[in-house]
């Protein structure tokens, strides 16, 4: 009688332990999420929390360990604000939990547009316009002076309007790879 109770108790403990481990999200799982709020390199800060929802089930060994619609949380792990003439804005995000279970994940990074094309257009356009006006007003010497003045004006415009921040809009879909869980 005591042996059968012991076996029954042991079976219950083993079953509950297996049930608990079935809920953990294994390394290598891919979690595709939909972001609840917008994030921007202009306003975000490191460690800033964000939230979202899973867009599809996570299945491990034939069992669903997380369902589409489950809440997820994450944090901003890197922010680099855009410079005016170089260095576009950057953001990196990591997932920190799925339905309340702590997870570790790969990072997802986004970078703003390069300044090169925009700056070249503004500075080159200013130089060309200045050269044209200078040539019309003062011939060859005027063209050279106008080109320099136009390039300076174009550089000023590029500096005034040149920020290239990155924004990840609300409702964006991002995919993380789970590297571990607790």
- Average pLDDT of 120-147? 52
What pLDDT digit, counting tens, does each position of 47-72 carry? 999 999 999 999 999 999 999 999 99
Strand partners, 2: none
User: Given a cut of 70, is residue 39 above it in pLDDT?
Assistant: yes
Which helix (H) or strand (E) segment holds residue 2: the answer is helix 2-22
Q: Which of 11-15, 83-87, 167-171, 178-182 has the highest mean pLDDT?
A: 167-171
What pLDDT digit, counting tens, does each position of 89-108 carry? 999 999 999 999 999 999 99
Question: Which residue did the predictor score with more confidence, 29 or 132?
Answer: 29
- Residue 76's nearest CA partner among 55, 102, 95 is 95
Interatomic CA distance for residues 16 and 145, integer angstroms: 83
CATH fold for the domain made of 2-114+163-181:
Lipocalin (2.40.128)
Pairing of strands 63-66, 58-60: antiparallel
**Inter-residue contact 133 to 113 (CB < 8 Å):** no
The whole-number pLDDT of residue 87 equals 78
Interatomic CA distance for residues 99 and 119, integer angstroms: 45
The whole-number pLDDT of residue 22 equals 42
Interatomic CA distance for residues 125 and 147, integer angstroms: 10
Confidence category of residue 145, pLDDT binned at 50, 70, 90: low
Task: Kindly state the percentage of the chain with pLDDT values over 90.
Answer: 51
Tell me if the pTM is above 0.75. no
Biggest CA-to-CA distance, the chain: 113
Over 52-65, what HEC string results?
EEECCCEEECCEEE
User: Given a cut of 90, is residue 160 above it in pLDDT?
Assistant: no
Residue 106: strand, helix, or coil: coil
């Amino acid at each position: 009688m005591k042996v059968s109770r012991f076996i029954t108790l042991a079976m219950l403990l083993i079953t509950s332990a297996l049930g608990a481990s079935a809920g953990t999200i294994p390394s290598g799982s891919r979690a595709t999420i939909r972001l609840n709020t917008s994030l921007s390199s202009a306003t975000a800060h490191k460690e800033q929390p964000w939230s979202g929802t899973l867009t599809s089930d996570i299945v491990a060994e034939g069992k669903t360990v997380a369902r589409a619609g489950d809440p997820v949380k994450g944090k901003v792990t890197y922010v680099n604000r855009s410079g005016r003439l170089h260095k576009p804005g950057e953001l990196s995000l990591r997932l920190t939990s799925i339905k309340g279970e702590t997870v570790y994940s790969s990072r997802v990074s986004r970078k703003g547009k390069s300044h090169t094309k925009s700056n070249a257009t503004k500075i080159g356009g200013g130089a060309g316009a200045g050269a044209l006006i200078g040539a019309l007003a003062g011939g060859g010497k005027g063209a050279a002076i106008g080109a320099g003045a136009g390039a300076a004006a174009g550089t000023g415009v590029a500096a005034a309007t040149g920020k290239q921040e990155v924004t990840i809009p609300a409702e964006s879909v991002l995919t993380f790879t789970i590297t571990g869980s607790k």
